[in-house]
């Protein structure tokens, strides 16, 4: 059977329906022809120059990414600027781009469920009763101190480093989380009884508010809290598309933009 871009889009949408995306988001088919045949797919977190090069080397017809290549409206496509250059290379090499962003964050089995599983949470729930949404709440099987939990998260996510916001001398049993930049949910997690929150991109005053509210925060970085979805999404597509003559490759070499010096 012939696999098309639309075939893959439908498969991703079964996992992460478009209705789950935030209003400000821009998931979906961002470049390419829905009817184009697909024999090779490259799954990644970001559509970077290196990502495009790898897809071209593999002779892939489709990139499936978490972060959208085009996020806001653009008024020009200049080949001397980074975005325009990538778009030009993708078009010249007949590579389509599909993204599942906040819809994949909220989806059952998506970014946040994978993150919860990676750090060993059980009895995982959403913040909204019986409704999928950004963020999760779960429980550690064994309570930990803040420093032990931070070390645990670092190891579980293979992170270069984590930042701990230590809110006081109390153990962690219930944990809230949101992959990527989810500091907006810290206070909500506290309201639901979490002693700690895991996310990335935490700002100074968000850390201050967490301490004042009495909830530990582990900032493991945007990359480390989201990168595990790449393998899971690739595995999902392998299962969904097994009746088609299509190969699925995943990015295993991507690195965080931030390094510890």
pLDDT tens column, 238-261:
999 999 999 999 999 999 999 988
> What is the model's pLDDT at position 34?
98
Residues 6+ apart with CB under 8 A from 47: 63, 65, 67, 69, 86, 97, 99
Enumerate domains of the chain plus CATH numbers. Answer: 5-104 (3.40.1390.30), 108-225 (3.40.1390.30)
Instruction: Supply 28's token pair.
Output: 């979906």
> What is the model's pLDDT at position 129?
83
pLDDT tens column, 113-166:
999 999 999 999 999 887 899 999 999 999 999 999 999 999 999 999 999 999
Strands 28-31 and 96-99: antiparallel
Within 13 Å, how many C-alpha atoms sit on residue 15's CB side?
A: 27
pLDDT tens column, 83-122:
999 999 999 999 999 999 999 999 999 999 999 999 999 9
3-state helix, strand, coil in the chain (%, to 5): 35, 25, 40
From CA 102, how far away is CA 133, in angstroms rounded?
Answer: 9
- To the question of pTM greater than 0.85 for the whole model, the response is yes
């Amino acid at each position: 059977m012939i696999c098309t871009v639309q075939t893959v889009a439908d498969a991703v949408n079964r996992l992460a329906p478009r209705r789950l995306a935030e209003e400000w988001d821009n998931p979906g088919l961002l470049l390419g022809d829905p009817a184009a045949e697909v024999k090779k797919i490259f799954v990644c977190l970001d559509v970077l120059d290196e990502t495009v090069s790898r897809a071209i080397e593999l002779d892939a017809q489709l990139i499936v990414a978490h972060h959208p290549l085009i996020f806001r409206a653009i008024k020009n496509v200049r080949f001397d600027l980074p975005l325009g250059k990538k778009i030009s290379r993708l078009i010249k090499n007949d590579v389509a781009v599909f993204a599942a962003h906040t819809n994949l964050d909220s989806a059952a089995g998506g970014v946040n469920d994978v993150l919860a599983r990676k750090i060993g949470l059980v009895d995982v729930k959403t913040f909204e009763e019986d409704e999928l949404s950004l963020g999760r709440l779960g429980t550690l099987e064994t309570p930990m101190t803040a420093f032990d939990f931070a070390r645990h998260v670092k190891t579980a996510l293979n992170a270069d480093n984590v930042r701990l916001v230590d809110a006081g001398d109390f153990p962690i049993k219930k944990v809230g989380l949101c992959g990527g930049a989810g500091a907006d949910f810290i206070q909500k997690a506290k309201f639901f009884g979490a002693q700690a929150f895991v996310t990335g991109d935490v700002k100074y005053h968000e850390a201050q508010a967490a301490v004042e509210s009495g909830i530990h925060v582990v900032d493991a970085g945007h990359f480390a809290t989201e990168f595990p979805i790449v393998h899971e999404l690739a595995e999902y597509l392998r299962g969904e598309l097994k009746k088609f003559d299509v190969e699925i490759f995943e990015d295993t070499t991507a690195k965080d933009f931030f390094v510890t010096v």
